[in-house]
Amino acid sequence: MSALAEAGVEPEVVIAEFGVNQFEVTCAPAEATTAADRSIAIREITREIARNAGWRASFAPKTSPDGVGNGVHVHFSFRDGGGKPATYAASGPGGLSATAGAFCAGILRHLPGMTALTAPSIPSYFRLKPHNWSASYTWLGQQHREATLRICPVVTIPGSDPASQYNIEFRATDATANPYLVLTALVRAGIEGIRAKLPTPALVAEDPTLMSEGRRAELGLQRLPESLDLALGALAADHTLNGWFPPVFLESFHGVRRAEMALLSELDPAAICDRYRVLY
């Protein structure tokens, strides 16, 4: 905590998580570029502190195929031109303002292709599965820990202001992703939703895996890509998303990921997890 504070990360908590030797680190809210900078600083400082203690810290999505996954959760909220909170509206679905709802709708519309950017490694997809405390569908939920976009709880004691606390959590990313690309994709997709004046997506409380295909279609729930190969295909097919980036970047991104897949094609999931455990 002292090292993170000295680096300007503004750490809030370091807490034990569900997995063996698994911890969660959170930091105070900041504008997007600073938040991405902090995510890098947290990883590097944590690794160095661990090395100094004779340990190894890993941020891999899965350190073993059947182990508990490690995600990166991006919390976001909005302020208007006057600096006032603009995410919350008491009359909106789940408390979402119309603008925030449209932003969420834009993310969910482009999420299949975005997943290649937010979960860009082979073991990312060992984690993005139903019933895995992770994201698996294009899903907006209220305080539901398997929703890809989760409306977070707020303090409700008398005198508390929900608007100043209200935020949304994006759960379909991990530490193999470039945080600047993750935030770029989220912002650009959200802006597309606002421009198109998309309605707020349905708030889903049920388990999508228990629904009929027709019910999922009615709610707009699509299964996220189940492999890096499928995610790269979805990225290539989303022409709007491709328009956010220079062609040379997309060519490089696809090339690197395809080369990574070829390099690891002969390894089983356990060996792949072990490789990423060491590298990340």
Instruction: Check residue 158 and give its pLDDT.
Output: 87
The mean pLDDT of 83-97, rounded to a whole number, is: 95
Phi, psi of 150 (to 5 degrees): -115, 120
Domain membership flag for residue 55: no
Domain membership flag for residue 136: yes
**Mean pLDDT rounded to a whole number for the chain:** 96
pLDDT in tens, 231-249: 999 999 999 999 999 999 9
The mean pLDDT of 83-91, rounded to a whole number, is: 95
Domain membership flag for residue 217: yes
Domain membership flag for residue 49: no
Q: How many domains does the chain have?
A: 1
Residue-range definition of the domain harbouring residue 79: 68-246
Residue 159, pLDDT > 90, answer no
Domain membership flag for residue 221: yes
The mean pLDDT of 249-267, rounded to a whole number, is: 97
Domain membership flag for residue 11: no
- State the CATH number of the domain containing residue 101: 3.30.590.10
Quote the pTM value.
0.95
E strands, the chain, in order: 11-16, 23-27, 74-76, 140-142, 149-151, 168-170
Domain membership flag for residue 46: no
Domain membership flag for residue 179: yes
Instruction: Check residue 160 and give its pLDDT.
Output: 87
For residues 108 and 186, the answer to whether their CB atoms sit within 8 Å is: no
Could you tell me the CA-to-CA distances from 55 to 14, 32, 48, 59 in Å, in that order? Answer: 17, 31, 9, 13
Residue 135, pLDDT > 90, answer yes
Residue 145, pLDDT > 90, answer no
Task: Concatenate the DSSP letters of all residues of 141-152 into one string.
Answer: EES-TT-SEEEP
The mean pLDDT of 270-279, rounded to a whole number, is: 96
